[in-house]
Structure 1
């Protein structure tokens, strides 16, 4: 079956509409990496060269993407034979395929680690400042408490002194009163003796 245009072919298949997505749209769709690098690239390259002919998957029953495995095997063999050159860092995708980590990703990771270390140092310095501030407040409170205790002791001593003075004055008044009464009694006794004579 032949299609008159790419748009007509896109209406008949579920894979072809993804070929029109941009890299940002693919990233937003969160599609697997191996799907992005294999299906999209093959479909885009095929549409860019043969936009108005039958898709090869309809004309031929063989898998149009079978060459990918051979290419990947050749790349792996090339990586194995190159022992002298340092091998870049790799990670595995969802399908188990090895993917090279770009130097930009390494730089981003280094920047993130640097920012995280700076944040930790800032948090530690703030914690130390808060600890010093708390200790300063505790010292001020302790000094104020000691001053209040000293003032309370001084007030108590003043009250004891006032009480002692009051007791002394009362005893002095009592002695004066006793002396006055004694002299009065002596005078009365002498007068009575004179009258008796």
Structure 2
């Protein structure tokens, strides 16, 4: 029994995932866990899988090389975009989409959005994130978690996992997109 536990602990499996979101073209060397960035304006992304022995991801760019630590098991987001990524865990709830929203609820959404754009109220406990360019952030230990990029929409329907729980899906936007959404919300308040 002890030998089986030791063998399972030593077997090379996926222990970490790093989703890289970039501004510009990227090429990946899976063997060395290296991302080569050609800066630009086009959104690109790739997912790297790491084992327990892999401790970092390196980004090579015209500005030099930078190494990002990936110490623990889980899913990480590496932001090499030109803008801050703002995100949150999608709450599917169990009541369906609301058919209307009160002025008080809208004011709360506006206030929360303003704070998040300013880097306030981002926290692991709230599952809200403010990830500035050239940083990496661990989001979850759930290797099945999904990250939705700034230019994709949240899936229209999802299935519960084998434990009967909603999937863990994180939605990210750029700070620019969040500011535009905030302007639209404020305009809606004035009507």
Q: Comparing both chains, which one has the higher relative contact order based on Cα–Cα distances under 8 Å and sequence gaps of 6 or more?
A: 2
TM-score, length basis structure 2: 0.19
Greater share of strand residues, 1 or 2? 2
Larger radius of gyration: 1
TM-score, length basis structure 1: 0.18
